[in-house]
Structure 1
């Protein structure tokens, strides 16, 4: 029996996605600071992208498994909520332990412990992320789907703004030191991770306790699924049969999903480069820090001058400010992207957004002016190179692209998926996020060292070219958007 799914109020839609704010808070802290942490603990530029491979590999393995499991889960805690809560709890543990890697030198090298905590955080973020995506699809009716994913994008970017700017705030307002001693993590980063873990758990608990998931009977009625009364008596298939079924699902994925995969490849290839190499690119190109100061072999033979350590610390903080900037622009664009997509079409908005992101990456090279200027950030005054201030301009395009990447693929995809396999297909769709990052992680370090002689600004420009290719690929996506009264 089919029943029309009730519309949700704005605040119900808000509560469904609110936990994303905390998950992205933690994810933003990771994106802006892990390269800095690992560099301080001894990683070189070439190996940074290899450490970052942990993230997409965890997503590739975990999200389809969690998606499939949550599709089959119905208990008194809900369908998706148990996985969301478990993932958030484990991520918080990783966030508390990672900046304390030097304390565990008795057991292993700090850099290796840091890499393990990065793996734990990424695995846990993925456990939480995938059910959140499916929760929106479960709870939000089709005619509200675009606004549902737009609100999700809004909350993600609010969390990203606060998470990205937090180390800078702790340094410039609270007074914590942002310079790391040899083999240590800066105090401002350590406390930022502590706060991030707290926010992560709090926001996820809000969603879990404020969102009552549908019962199996309600869900089946709203989605037009014929329930199986004897399902509990069915014999659970063997692992081999389940694997065969999984690969069959991949082969039979909707055409829309396949075409979106091409767009996703170029988009996420670019994003991975930005997250890994923005800090060295800005430190080298805008602050004028020589490439040799990112070489652990050279650093082992000299004492790092105070001005070099200060410049690297300042550049690291500024990356957080810039990441907060693109997240803020993404928040603003998220407020209008739904209406723009309804008026002009999701494909057009998606493609133009990615193009603006591509031009943003390419324009990084224009901002090299080393002249120091005083900048009023409302919360404090800072002295930075003029080129660093100019980098807010590329962040506009990157923020617009990020908002579109978070919302448009899922809004386009959701209408083409069978309701009883939404979770597993959303998990499979994560392959289109994880795979390009894995390729980027394997190739980017080699390209940086072998082609660009460790001049990180050029790898950022390569990211711009790839984002433009993603924009062109949107043209070939078929959007089967339905019209609702």
Structure 2
């Protein structure tokens, strides 16, 4: 028993909602630093305010993945989360550019990112649920295409409104320009329509059919399907010992920060370490009491039982997303200061630079949409790992070019490389991962995989401001150099990944 192959139009419908999701994500990435600076935030404090995005992802995505694996109703398994997440995200997009104060803006960012995560997380599992193995690469490539095209529109909206429709892109000090506000309104409306298109044009397999597909796949591989909770998992002593160690280290880091009066952002790092320890302690105590039939215990157990391929990909994801987060936070202040000579957020020069960054972000997302068609060809002629490494190197060189190129118009060249990296980051790891995780746990493992996206973002939000202030005299452009180095490290780490599908591909090519 196998899943039915879907037509290209059916795959299009299934992925079209990602077009809307990425509009919200793109508006956030290109404009949040601008909004925060307009409301009075200093450049070296931007990173800590951006902590909302990864912090909410760290909590929300595993929860949504776990819940969506176990959901079934009138709208199916994943689509209820698309539906309600889109409504909440649209509301947040309408509130964000009207924030009268920094604290309201920061709160709106938390709500916006939580809502985007509710909508976005099940989309990755959606492809694994609905497509047979041979069509999953097409599904993830289609998602990358819509991510790219949606982000192009989102990134360019303020520039389009200013230069084509003559909407004001400056405002009195402390106020958000009309071009940004209207862009958020339009983006929210398109996001809602796009996600609803996927919700109401796509169907899902019911739980009994999914179970039958998993059984048939396991039989073909000569494997047994384990019942829920049948695997032994991690022992109580390991949980308690590991939890105690991580908690002590986290508390020691916090004490060190306090004693040496380092930047307060480092308390976030201490909290992450200690929080991981406390989670293990709680899981161990619950297991000792034989109270493991709960979502928390299952999520922690699955985290420690993740496949080897997922652990190897975690390293690649860590450095890839550290580089991306450096770019998203610091491109606007970096380009405005380094290429336009402006740090005053109310000046015409600063806002011209910020608008141009929106265009640059649109360029890399546009390139990503086109690269989604080319990268599979590179992968077929080499391998998925080689193709991903090539794209990451191109991204690293693209970010490094911002320090070398002084003509802001030529920065477009660097964004071509970033576009290839972004497209590959959005597809290659998921294509490799989907073949190594159990079908019935696709949602939770996609959610847990997000840990290795948000943890580097949290570290970036914690450390980048301190690094810039300490070593680079607060010059934001050097955050892009650090991002470039991170991309190059990720490219090297790709070759340590065991791709389960690579031997099959090579055997097929040889025959």
Q: Same fold (TM over 0.5)?
A: yes
From 299, 310, 313, the equivalent of 1:246 is: 299
Report the counterpart of residue 37 of structure 1 in structure 2.
35
1:439 aligns with 2:459: yes
Query: TM-score, structure 1 length as denominator?
Result: 0.87
Report the counterpart of residue 299 of structure 1 in structure 2.
none
5+ residue gaps in structure 2?
217-224, 228-289
Report the counterpart of residue 265 of structure 1 in structure 2.
318
5+ residue gaps in structure 1?
103-109, 229-236, 295-303, 369-386
1:319 aligns with 2:339: no
1:214 aligns with 2:205: yes
SS in 2 for 1:174: coil
From 444, 447, 459, the equivalent of 1:427 is: 447
- Conservation of the 8 A alpha-carbon contact between 2:322 and 2:486: yes
1:145 aligns with 2:133: no
Deviations 1:65-111 (A, max 9, x none): 00000000011111000011111110110000011112xxxxxxx11
Residue correspondence of structure 1 range 356-435 to structure 2 within 5 A: 356-368=394-406, 387-435=407-455
Report the counterpart of residue 332 of structure 2 in structure 1.
279
SS in 1 for 2:351: helix
- Conservation of the 8 A alpha-carbon contact between 1:40 and 1:180: no
Q: CA RMSD in A?
A: 1.7
Once the two structures are TM-superposed, the CA of residue 343 in structure 1 deviates from its matched residue by 2.7
From 477, 480, 485, the equivalent of 1:457 is: 477
Deviations 1:189-225 (A, max 9, x none): 0000000100000000000001011122222222327
Report the counterpart of residue 6 of structure 1 in structure 2.
4
Go from structure 1 to structure 2 and tell me whether the alpha carbon gap of 1:340 and 1:181 turns closer, same or farther (over 3 Å shift). Answer: same
- Conservation of the 8 A alpha-carbon contact between 1:17 and 1:152: yes
- Conservation of the 8 A alpha-carbon contact between 1:361 and 1:460: yes
Report the counterpart of residue 160 of structure 1 in structure 2.
151
- Conservation of the 8 A alpha-carbon contact between 1:220 and 1:227: no
Go from structure 1 to structure 2 and tell me whether the alpha carbon gap of 1:476 and 1:26 turns closer, same or farther (over 3 Å shift). Answer: same
- Conservation of the 8 A alpha-carbon contact between 2:66 and 2:295: no
Once the two structures are TM-superposed, the CA of residue 58 in structure 1 deviates from its matched residue by 0.4
Deviations 1:354-393 (A, max 9, x none): 011011111111122xxxxxxxxxxxxxxxxxx1111001
SS in 1 for 2:6: coil
Once the two structures are TM-superposed, the CA of residue 287 in structure 1 deviates from its matched residue by 0.7
Go from structure 1 to structure 2 and tell me whether the alpha carbon gap of 1:244 and 1:333 turns closer, same or farther (over 3 Å shift). Answer: same
From 491, 496, 499, the equivalent of 1:471 is: 491
Name whichever of 279-288 and 213-222 sits farther off: 213-222
Go from structure 1 to structure 2 and tell me whether the alpha carbon gap of 1:239 and 1:93 turns closer, same or farther (over 3 Å shift). Answer: farther
SS in 2 for 1:287: coil
Partners of 1:10 and 1:243 in 2: how far apart?
A: 38
Deviations 1:224-244 (A, max 9, x none): 27799xxxxxxxx95785433
**Moved >6 Å (runs of 4+):** 225-228
SS in 2 for 1:42: coil
Partners of 1:314 and 1:24 in 2: how far apart?
A: 24
